[in-house]
Structure formats: C-alpha cells, structure tokens
C-alpha cells in the first residue's frame, strides 16, 4: 500500500461525495479498501471531508436540504455497506450517543434531521426518535439507550412548551442528572432553554454540534 496512492483515492472519494456522485464515491471506497488503506483515514479524509464540503456548500447557499438528505443517504449507505463492518474491530472513534426527536404535537423534522445528520458527520452516534415524540417516549429512550445527550426540536411556539414537559418527566423518572439536554428550533431561544432547565441551546445545526461537543467536554 502506498501512502500517496491512498491519499489520492481519499481525495477522489471526498470529491465524489461533495458532488453527490454515488457511483464515483462507491468506486473510490472500493479502491481504497482494495489498496488496504486505513479505514479510519478513509472515513476522515474521504467520506467525512466530502460531507464537510457538502455542509459548506449548504452554508454558502449552493446546496439545499434535498442535497443534504441525499448526501446523508450516500454517506450512510457507504458506511453501512463498506466501512462499518470493518470499523467494528477498531476501538474508540465515537464521540458520544445522542437521542434526538421533535416534541409532541409537532411534525416538523427538517431542522431535527439536519442536526442528526451533522452530529453523525461529526462522529456522534444518533438515535432518531422521529417527530411528535411524547415525553414518555423520550424518557423511555433515555432509559433504554442511556445517551450522553438528549436533543429536542420544535418549530412552533406552542409545541416548544413540550420541552419543559420532557425535562419535568426526566426529573420525575430520576433521570435528569443522567443526561445532558440540548434544545433548538425556530421559536426556541437561549433564554427559553435556560428557563426550562436545558443544558444548552443550539441556534442551528452547526451550533448544535459545537454545543454537544462542549457538553461532553464538561461531562468528562
């Protein structure tokens, strides 16, 4: 295996992911594995770098949500088919586990999906509970998965109040100090997050990822 050859293939994979070229990315991944390149470097320098470029294009207004969804599917598919089976033998690499969902009464999932995607890209494992999630389901998920962080999203001024109900339900179940809570969504503010007793507020997907990383740093 030549170091230079692997770097060139990683670059090819990264470009293909950024261009949403599934066939090109798949061919590049297969080539890298055939050359015996390091799988972690393939993820970091190939797949993840491509996803970072997708995020940058989104920030610049060149890509929109459909491209993010497509990129997420491409990334997940290549990870599942080629990378994860090989990564399972490696230790470490995961930043933490986040359980995420849109609160009860709210069926908006754009923001929540974006946060989940960005968290995955940044090395978090994410359990996505979907939309219209009751406090009971959030509590159940915290018991079941024992996440480091619980993320809640809401797009409506009335449904955001459910976030307080979830935090109250966590307290009642004796789980509040077992998990960090981050909230976000269009009507949610830093002040509201503080008022309901959340640990952090994510202004957008990028900010949410940074806050999650900081929450884990404080935790450890």
Partner 1 sequence: MARQLIAEFRARAGEYVEQKRFDLEHVSRRVAELEKEYGVHFDPSSPLPDESLGKAVFEAGFTLAVEAGLYIVDESRVAKFSEEELREALKSARNRIVVGRGRDARKLGYREPGDRVFVFGGLAGTPTPLEFFVESAASYALVLRVDGIDHGSVQTVMGEMVRSGAPSEVLAGLREMESLRSALRMAGRPGMHVLGAESSVGSVGSLGAMSLGLLRRGDAQLLPVLNELKTDYHQLVKAYVGSLRGVLGAALVDPVVGGFARGPAGSAIVSVAEILLAMVAYDASYFLVHPVHIVKKATSTIECMWVESVVGLANRYMRLPLVGDVWPANGGGTREYLYEVAANTLVAVVSGLNLLGPVPENGTQPNGGGVDAMFMAGLADRMVEENVGFNRAWGFAVELYKRYEARIVSPDPGKPFWELYDAKKIAPRKEWLETINETIREIAQYI
Residues at the contact surface with partner 1, assessed by CB under 8 A? 58-59, 61, 64-66, 69-70, 104-108, 110, 156-159, 161-162, 164-165, 186-189, 191-192, 204
Q: Find the shortest distance in angstroms from Cβ 205 to partner 1.
A: 8
Q: Find the shortest distance in angstroms from Cβ 211 to partner 1.
A: 15
Q: Which two tokens stand for residue 67?
A: 């491209």
- 3-class DSSP state of 202: strand
- Toward partner 1, which CB reaches closer, 48 or 104? 104
* Strands annotated E in the chain: 96-102, 124-128, 149-153, 180-184, 200-202
> Which ranges of 42-161 does DSSP label H, i.e. alpha helix?
49-59, 65-78, 84-87, 110-121, 135-145
Q: Find the shortest distance in angstroms from Cβ 14 to partner 1.
A: 23
Q: Find the shortest distance in angstroms from Cβ 136 to partner 1.
A: 13
Q: What is the dihedral of CA 188, 173, 148, 98, to 10 degrees?
A: -60
- Toward partner 1, which CB reaches closer, 31 or 67? 67
- Toward partner 1, which CB reaches closer, 3 or 59? 59
- Toward partner 1, which CB reaches closer, 108 or 120? 108
Angle at 183 between CA 140 and CA 202, to 5 degrees: 140
């Amino acid at each position: 295996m030549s170091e230079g050859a692997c770097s060139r293939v990683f670059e090819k994979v990264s470009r293909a992911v950024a261009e949403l070229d599934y066939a090109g990315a798949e061919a590049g991944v297969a080539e890298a594995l055939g050359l015996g390149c390091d799988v972690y470097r393939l993820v970091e320098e190939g797949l993840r770098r491509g996803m970072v470029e997708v995020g940058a294009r989104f920030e610049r207004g060149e890509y929109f949500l459909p491209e993010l969804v497509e990129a997420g599917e491409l990334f997940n598919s290549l990870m599942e088919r080629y990378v994860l089976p090989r990564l399972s033998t490696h230790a470490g690499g995961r930043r933490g586990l986040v359980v995420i969902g849109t609160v009860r009464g709210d069926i908006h999932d754009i923001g929540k999906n974006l946060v989940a995607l960005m968290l995955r890209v940044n090395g978090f494992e994410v359990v996505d509970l979907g939309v219209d999630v009751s406090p009971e389901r959030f509590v159940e998920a915290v018991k079941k998965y024992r996440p480091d962080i619980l993320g809640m999203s809401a797009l409506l001024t009335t449904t955001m109040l459910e976030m307080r109900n979830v935090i109250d339900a966590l307290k009642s179940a004796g789980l509040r100090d077992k998990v960090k809570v981050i909230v976000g969504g269009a009507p949610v503010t830093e002040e509201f997050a503080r008022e309901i007793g959340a640990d952090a507020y994510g202004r957008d997907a990028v900010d949410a990822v940074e806050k999650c990383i900081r929450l884990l740093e404080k935790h450890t």
